[in-house]
Amino acid sequence: MIKKFIAAFILSFLITNISNAETITVDVNGLVCEFCAVTIEKNFNKKPEIVKLVKVNLNSKKVTIILQKEKNLSDEEVRDIIVNNGYNVVKINRSK
């Protein structure tokens, strides 16, 4: 429980302290285990020129992607990565 709290705090700190970087939050169906999380994180991390940080929260079934400054990843690309790994995208939200 403490590890999850610390991880959430660190992620929250990183998100609020990355200026001019877009954050994409994706609601995903089918996330049930650590293997799911690792698979999605690994596939987004194959794009280090675009993706700065990716974190999967199994409890909330959300994937948070922080992009490099001035970089973009389209909703279609996000959806393709998640769907090609066997999961369903429910909703994609963007914020700065």
Q: What is the pLDDT of residues 24-37, one digit of tens each?
A: 999 999 988 999 89
Instruction: Dump pLDDT digits (tens) for 45-91.
Output: 999 999 999 999 999 999 999 999 999 999 999 999 999 999 999 99
Q: How far, rounded to the nearest angstrom, does the alpha carbon of residue 62 sit from its chain's CA centroid?
A: 7
What residue ranges do the domains of the chain occupy? 2-95
How far are the Cα atoms of 6, 7, 9, 68 from residue 3, in angstroms, in the given order?
5, 6, 10, 26
CATH number, domain 2-95: 3.30.70.100
Question: 18-41 burial, b if ≥16 CB within 10 A, otherwise e?
Answer: beebbbbbbebeebeeeebbebbb
Element (H, E) at 32: none
96 and 25 Cβ atoms separated by less than 8 Å = no
